[in-house]
Amino acid sequence: MKKKIGLFILTLLVVGFGCWGQAQAASTKTIKQTINQLVKQKGFSGTITVVKNGRVIIQTSRGYANYVKKQPNRSQNQYQIASIQKSMTAEMIAKLASQKKLSLNDKLSKYYPKIKNADQVTLRQLLNMVSGLKVSSTISLHSFKSQQAYLNYLGSHATIQTNKIGQWQYSSFNYNLLAGIVEQVSGKSYQQYFEQVIAKPLGLKNYSFVTKFSSKVAQGYYNRGLSRYQAAGKPGKPSQYMSFGAGTIAMSGQDLYKVLAAMLSGKLIGTSNAQDLYSSKYLSGTTYTAGFYHVGQQLIKNQATYHMHGRQSGVDTAVEISADGQNAVIVQSNNGTLTSGGTVNHVIDLPIYQKLVGYDDN
């Protein structure tokens, strides 16, 4: 009798797992259908990475990494991640804080004493872009001979508008200064410290910095005039300086996911520190904390979700990721303006993510 009961239970388990597997396959199939519809409608060129429960379930590419050489985009390609790098700069600051080498409550004046009113804002306010930082638009007209020369100029010509402290205003200058603080405190270059506290612990293999881009980096393109693939130039020195800590890295979709998931889970700085870094209690008239936009309430209805977006040199990257880092859609396009509507942001990533997490607004 016991043998029959055991056999019956075993049969139920086998059938159950079989049905579960079919359900998973059907779900993945549906997501693939959604992807195929979107990339066809939008003329997408790039790579899409879909992660469920911490595992890549779909990775698909379209278009050309190099149009002249007719090299197709592949999952191993690296794409410039632009402003998404800001989250990594924030992580490096948080890592230094976890080591008691600085505090997120430190005043900016401790590191840049020449900035007017810098004693009235904290590093956390820079991280969340509520610092009131103002920099003259003429800074782009100067010819800087080095990254440090740029930072020195920024550190002596920027100012804090006291009446704007606490108000959100997007500006990469916040992260230029934070990247400079990483170098001041760590005693290493930004790239060296990135490799020490992020790349090596996570085993990243498929990334590179703009100073020496890998041959795997997909060429960025614009859709202009008669050409659907007009090559965008590599960022020049002035652009590289002004993107310091905020847009100088290229990564594959899988490496990018590894970093984002590790940051959200606290793998690199500890769970409590990660929860504090991204806590909604620091939101001030915005949805932005340390590189992530909190969008669960607006887009996914009460599902804790973060959004990210970066765009430069013909490359457009958009991310939807659950707050625990387990589910994600990463859309990396190397021809953002080829996409109908001019951007992939929310246009491609959001519909796929809604399918992934079982919420469809339609």
Residues 324 and 294 sit within 8 Å (Cβ to Cβ): no
Q: Report the pLDDT value the prediction gives residue 237, as an integer from 0 to 100.
A: 77
Q: Report the pLDDT value the prediction gives residue 300, as an integer from 0 to 100.
A: 63
Can you tell me the distance from the alpha carbon of 199 to that of 215, in angstroms, rounded to the nearest whole number? Answer: 19
152: number of CA atoms within 13 Å, CB side?
8
Taking the domains of the chain in order of start, what are their residue ranges? 41-357
List the one residue out of 75, 84, 50 whose CA is nearest residue 318.
84
Can you tell me the distance from the alpha carbon of 22 to that of 201, in angstroms, rounded to the nearest whole number? Answer: 36
For strands 305-312 and 315-322, give the pairing.
Answer: antiparallel
Segment 25-60, tens digit of pLDDT = 337 999 999 999 998 888 899 999 999 999 999 999
Can you tell me the distance from the alpha carbon of 150 to that of 291, in angstroms, rounded to the nearest whole number? Answer: 23
Residue 133, strand partner residues: 160
Alpha helices for 43-163 (secondary structure H) = 85-98, 123-127, 147-157
- Phi, psi (5° rounding) for residue 53? 50, 40
List the one residue out of 323, 315, 245 whose CA is nearest residue 287.
323
> What sign for the dihedral angle of Cα 210, 212, 217, 221?
positive
Can you tell me the distance from the alpha carbon of 237 to that of 140, in angstroms, rounded to the nearest whole number? Answer: 11
Question: Which residues, other chains included, contact 260 with Cβ-Cβ below 8 Å and sequence gap of 6+?
Answer: 87, 308, 319, 321, 325, 328
Q: Report the pLDDT value the prediction gives residue 131, as an integer from 0 to 100.
A: 96
Superfamily of domain 41-357: DD-peptidase/beta-lactamase superfamily (3.40.710.10)
Q: Report the pLDDT value the prediction gives residue 338, as an integer from 0 to 100.
A: 52
Count Cβ atoms below 10 Å from residue 167 Cβ, excluding itself: 14
Q: Report the pLDDT value the prediction gives residue 344, as an integer from 0 to 100.
A: 84
Residues 221 and 334 sit within 8 Å (Cβ to Cβ): yes
List the one residue out of 63, 59, 41 whose CA is nearest residue 49.
59
Can you tell me the distance from the alpha carbon of 23 to that of 6, in angstroms, rounded to the nearest whole number? Answer: 26
Q: Report the pLDDT value the prediction gives residue 165, as an integer from 0 to 100.
A: 95
Ranges under pLDDT 70 in the chain:
1-26, 224-227, 296-302, 336-342, 359-362
